[in-house]
Amino acid sequence: MHPFDTAIALTTVDAHCSRGATTSAYANMVGPFGGTTAAVLLNAALRHAERRGEPVALTVNYASALADGAFEIDARAVRTNRSTQHWILQLRQGDDVAATATAVFATRRETWSAPEATAPADPPAPDTLARQDPTRRPPWVQRYDMRFIDGGMPTRFDGAEHPHSHSCLWVRDDPPRPIDFASLAALCDTFFPRVYLRRRKIVPIGTVSLTTYFHADTAMLAAHGAQPVLASAHGLNFRNGYCDQRGELWSARRELLASTQQVMYYRE
């Protein structure tokens, strides 16, 4: 079993409640990687008997760092329409809500379609780039093969501020795993904090809220398989403890798989 599947595994408690547990393979500095938290929340809806359609939008709010160990997810389809379905999800540890989420699922139909944003032009092939060294980094970083084209994790944290927070990289699960909606949701949280890039200084940070729009459907994900995803991200504004980030994830064929945004807190 791939460690990602272990990390998002759930067992059914009752019609609305399922149980999971954090895994050491995706541990962060405190608690688990937020990407797996997003993925397991999405998975609670994906595996639910009432689920109709495929994910279109997912918002995860991180209410506190998860404690290592078990958690329960309450998943409710609060509205099911002809082609869309709306979910409210809560992840609890004991009496505490550690994360909340909303998800929108939809049955897609073929329509007029047109991409507008374009993938980063002419990126070097992944195998021509060095993998970002994940040693001395939290375990979850080692679960992703990241090959930066631009804006890699700073090698020196000397406080010499950087003028922008753009990053572009190839990223895939390690070991390789065919992409699906859950792993795509997690990949959307693999960008390291933009504030590290700008400040070249390690300060306490944490994602507060993460929203991902899924442009891919099952067929597009199947065509992509386990190939690396071309990913780009940048911050818009850093102000009084909160900053945002926008990102795009592209398939090997340069189709937009997902657009994602998040707001993080930072200290000092």
Binding residues vs a copy of itself (CB under 8 A) = 56-57, 59, 61, 63-64, 78-79, 81, 84, 86, 88, 90, 96-98, 100-102, 104, 106, 108-117, 161, 164-165, 198-199, 208-209, 211, 213, 215, 217, 234-242, 244, 246, 248, 256, 259, 261, 263, 265-268
Rounded least distance, CB 161 to a copy of itself, Å:
8
| Gap between the Cα atoms of 198 and 201, Å rounded | 8
Least separation in angstroms between CB 173 and a copy of itself: 24
Closest by Cα among 75, 1, 73 to 37: 73
Pick the closer one to a copy of itself by CB: 86 or 137. Answer: 86
Closest alpha carbon to 40 in 11, 68, 81: 11
Say if residues 254 and 232 touch (Cβ distance below 8 Å): no
Nearer to a copy of itself, 17 or 106 (CB): 106
Using alpha carbons only, give the angle 200, 187, 258 rounded to the nearest 5 degrees.
Answer: 110
- Shorter beta-carbon distance to a copy of itself: residue 25 or 106: 106
**C-alpha–C-alpha distance, residues 106 and 56, integer Å:** 6
Identify which of residues 137 and 246 has a Cβ nearer to a copy of itself in the complex: 246
Q: Which is nearer to a copy of itself, 148 or 213 (CB)?
A: 213
CB of 32 to a copy of itself, least distance (A): 17
Distance CA 167, CA 152 (A): 6
Helix (H) or strand (E) holding 5: helix 3-7
